[in-house]
């Protein structure tokens, strides 16, 4: 029987705090006055997130494992947990007004956001396949429910249904892949799988299933079909959380599994060829399909959904360039995901800010004239779109630069060229809303600012600052990303 001590208890903090917050929120909810904004719940949520945040700084240090090796406390997991918890905190704190107007201002909304965050952090820190599986499920089940939480709106419940069906399908693939990997090696701990002489063909089959399952979860082509529908139908606050948090956590687990268990240093190096082949195809497909489909969209949320497919492609390009080594390529992918989670959260917060009474402000034509009426919202949205397009001086530029450079250095010339070409293509659809906002007059009445909405303004400002700061002085965060990847070994 293993014994557990203080290290185990402390390692619970990053995901235990949000869980505790969820429980407190649920207990508080019945005692609050009905028909009033539920700010206290948001504050409790925020407080629990801040505790989790502080615990990250406290745990930051050399790699240790806890709970018989099930949980890894290393810079890699903590680095992405930092982004995940920030995204979760901003969503919980900044969307009270939106939630009130959409009629979802109930305890469950905040509690589900908190449990989802808890699952994401668990996923980012998981060091064995059992915990990876459970982390994915805690995250996914919370987010399925969140996507359909405006259950009287047909589009929301339709989005939840589609997301759920494909998510459950993907879960089965993940499980089957894990079963085969366990069969081939007898291990589920990532670091031990790497040092195990295994039945290679069975291991390769298991890895294929696992990559397909993860491909669904992060929305990589050709497993992306749920993304546009789920992003469009879910309420804007949830979509932002999904786009930023689910993707960051999914990539955390994806990258960790590939680098630690099936990376270049593993005892069956042929296996890393299997996943590199699968992933470069997925990367090329996602970049092409995501950007081409985004060109044709008239709905802002749907356009951002296709753009998230494209960005999955760029992040995968970083993973492919890394080839499972603990080096620049994997670090570029890690930094890309880190930066992406901020620049994709931003636009959805702006949509949440502009939406009224549960009807999302989402067609691109509606944006016309926003530049004069709501200069701050328009400015922030422009900044986020420029960052998504990969223009300086934003984090999108730095992230793409490092991914492309490491791909080029790794000899993936064609993929790099494809990445650059599709990026240029994407500038068109990211600039179109900006042109509309500043060059056209409003076609319909634009919503005026609600004074109570200062939290959303504050969160948008913070996200915009992060996008700029990461773009102007990226070196510290790049070093942290590299340290994160190095801590995997």
Partner 1 sequence: MFTLSNCIVLSALLFAIGAYGVVARRNILVMLMSVELMLNAGNLALIAFSRYHASIPSSAANGLTGHVFVLMTMVVAAAEVAVGLAILIALFRNRQTVDPGELDLLKG
Partner 2 sequence: MTDLLFLLASAVCLVSALAVVTRKNPIYSALSLVSFFGGLAVLFLLLRAPFVAAMQLIVYAGAILVLFLFVIMLLSLKEEELGKEKGGRFKLFAAGLAVVLALLVILPVLGSETARDDFGPESALAPRFGSAEHVGMGLFGNFALAFESTSILILAAMMGAVVIAKKRV
Q: Which residues bind partner 2 (CB under 8 A)?
A: 1-2, 4, 8, 15, 19, 22-23, 26, 66-68, 70-71, 103, 106, 108-109, 111-112, 115-116, 118-119, 122, 128, 130-131, 134-135, 137-138, 141-142, 144-146, 148-149, 151, 157, 160, 180, 199, 201-202, 204-205, 208-209
Give the nearest distance from C-beta 32 to partner 2 in angstroms.
Answer: 14
Distances (CA, A) of 60 to 11, 37, 209, 327, 481: 11, 37, 33, 20, 13
Binding site for partner 1 (CB under 8 A): 130, 133-134, 137, 141, 144-145, 148, 151-152, 154-155, 157-162, 164-165, 168-169, 171-173, 175-176, 178-180, 182-183, 186-188, 228-229, 232-233, 296-299, 302
Q: Taking CB within 5 to 8 Å according to partner kind, which of partner 1, partner 2, none is near residue 2?
A: partner 2
Distance of CA 389 to the CA centre of its chain: 18
Which residue matches tokens 């530029």? 397
What tokens were used for 242? 């999904």
C-beta of 261 vs 386, nearer to partner 1: 261
C-beta of 197 vs 448, nearer to partner 1: 197
Give the nearest distance from C-beta 216 to partner 2 in angstroms.
Answer: 14
C-beta of 229 vs 366, nearer to partner 2: 229
Question: What is the DSSP secondary-structure string of 366-396?
Answer: GGTTHHHH-HHHHHHHHHHHHHHHT-TTSHH
DSSP state of 65: E
Neighbours of 398 (CB within 10 A): 25
Give the nearest distance from C-beta 82 to partner 2 in angstroms.
Answer: 20
C-beta of 253 vs 482, nearer to partner 2: 253
Give the nearest distance from C-beta 299 to partner 1 in angstroms.
Answer: 7
Give the nearest distance from C-beta 219 to partner 2 in angstroms.
Answer: 20
Kindly give the residue spans of alpha helices, DSSP state H, lying in 148-199. Answer: 154-185, 190-194
What tokens were used for 361? 């402000």
Give the nearest distance from C-beta 37 to partner 1 in angstroms.
Answer: 25
Q: Taking CB within 5 to 8 Å according to partner kind, which of partner 2, partner 1, none is near residue 201?
A: partner 2
Q: Taking CB within 5 to 8 Å according to partner kind, which of partner 2, partner 1, none is near residue 438?
A: none
| Beta partners for residue 71, in sequence order | 66, 126
Q: Taking CB within 5 to 8 Å according to partner kind, which of partner 1, partner 2, none is near residue 172?
A: partner 1
Q: Taking CB within 5 to 8 Å according to partner kind, which of partner 2, partner 1, none is near residue 159?
A: partner 1
SS (H, E, C) 228-270: HHHHHHCCHHHHHHHHHHHHHHHHHHHHHHHHHHHCCCCCCCH
Q: Taking CB within 5 to 8 Å according to partner kind, which of partner 1, partner 2, none is near residue 228?
A: partner 1
Q: Taking CB within 5 to 8 Å according to partner kind, which of partner 1, partner 2, none is near residue 67?
A: partner 2
Give the nearest distance from C-beta 43 to partner 2 in angstroms.
Answer: 20
Are 202 and 180 in contact by the 8 Å Cβ rule? The answer is yes
C-beta of 22 vs 305, nearer to partner 2: 22
How far is the C-alpha of 136 from the C-alpha of 217, rounded, in Å? 9
SS (H, E, C) 199-230: CHHHHHHHHHHHHHHHHHHHCCCCCCCHHHHH
Q: Taking CB within 5 to 8 Å according to partner kind, which of partner 2, partner 1, none is near residue 22?
A: partner 2
SS (H, E, C) 125-159: HECEHHHHHHHHHHHHHHHHHHHCCCCCCHHHHHH
State phi, psi for 64 to the nearest 5 degrees: -135, 160
Give the nearest distance from C-beta 183 to partner 1 in angstroms.
Answer: 4
């Amino acid at each position: 029987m293993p014994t557990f001590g203080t290290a185990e208890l402390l390692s619970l903090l990053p995901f235990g705090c949000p869980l505790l917050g969820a429980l407190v929120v649920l207990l508080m909810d019945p005692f609050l006055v009905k028909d009033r904004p539920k700010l206290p719940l948001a504050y409790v949520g925020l407080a629990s997130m801040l505790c989790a945040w502080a615990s990250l700084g406290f745990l930051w240090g050399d790699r240790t494992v806890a709970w018989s090796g099930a949980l890894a406390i290393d810079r890699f997991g903590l680095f992405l947990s930092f982004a995940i918890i920030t995204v979760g905190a901003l969503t919980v704190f900044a969307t009270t007004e939106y939630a009130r107007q959409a009629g979802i201002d109930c305890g469950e909304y905040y509690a589900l956001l908190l449990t989802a965050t808890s699952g994401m952090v668990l996923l980012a820190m998981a060091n064995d396949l059992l915990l990876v599986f459970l982390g994915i499920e805690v995250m996914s089940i919370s987010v399925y429910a969140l996507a359909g939480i405006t259950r009287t709106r047909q589009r929301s419940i339709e989005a939840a249904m589609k997301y759920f069906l494909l998510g459950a399908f993907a879960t089965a693939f993940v499980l089957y892949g894990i079963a085969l990997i366990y069969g081939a090696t007898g291990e589920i701990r990532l670091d031990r799988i790497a040092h195990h002489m295994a039945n290679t063909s069975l291991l390769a089959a298991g890895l294929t299933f696992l990559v397909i399952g993860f491909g669904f979860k992060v929305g990589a082509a050709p497993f992306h079909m749920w993304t546009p529908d789920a992003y469009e139908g879910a309420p804007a606050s949830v979509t932002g959380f999904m786009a930023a948090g689910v993707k960051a956590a999914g990539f955390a687990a994806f990258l960790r599994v590939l680098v630690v268990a099936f990376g270049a240093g593993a005892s069956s190096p042929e296996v890393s060829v299997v996943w590199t082949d699968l992933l470069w195809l997925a990367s090329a497909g996602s970049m092409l399909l995501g950007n081409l489909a985004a060109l044709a969209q008239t709905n802002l949320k749907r356009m951002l959904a296709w753009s998230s497919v494209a960005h999955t492609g760029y992040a995968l390009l970083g993973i492919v360039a890394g080839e499972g080594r603990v080096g620049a390529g994997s670090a570029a992918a890690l930094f890309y995901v880190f930066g992406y989670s901020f620049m994709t959260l931003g636009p959805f917060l702006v949509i949440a800010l502009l939406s009224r009474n549960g009807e999302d402000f989402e067609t691109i034509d509606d944006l016309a004239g926003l530049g004069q009426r709501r200069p701050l919202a328009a400015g922030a949205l422009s900044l986020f779109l420029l960052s998504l397009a990969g223009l300086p001086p934003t984090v999108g530029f730095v992230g793409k630069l490092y991914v492309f450079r490491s791909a080029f250095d790794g000899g993936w010339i064609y993929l790099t060229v494809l990445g650059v070409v599709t990026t240029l293509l994407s500038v068109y659809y990211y600039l179109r809303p900006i042109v509309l906002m500043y060059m056209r007059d409003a076609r319909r009445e634009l919503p005026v600012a609600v004074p109570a909405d200062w939290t959303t303004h504050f969160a948008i400002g913070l996200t915009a600052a992060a996008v700029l700061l990461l773009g102007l002085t990226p070196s510290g965060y790049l070093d942290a990303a590299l340290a994160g990847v190095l801590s995997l070994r």
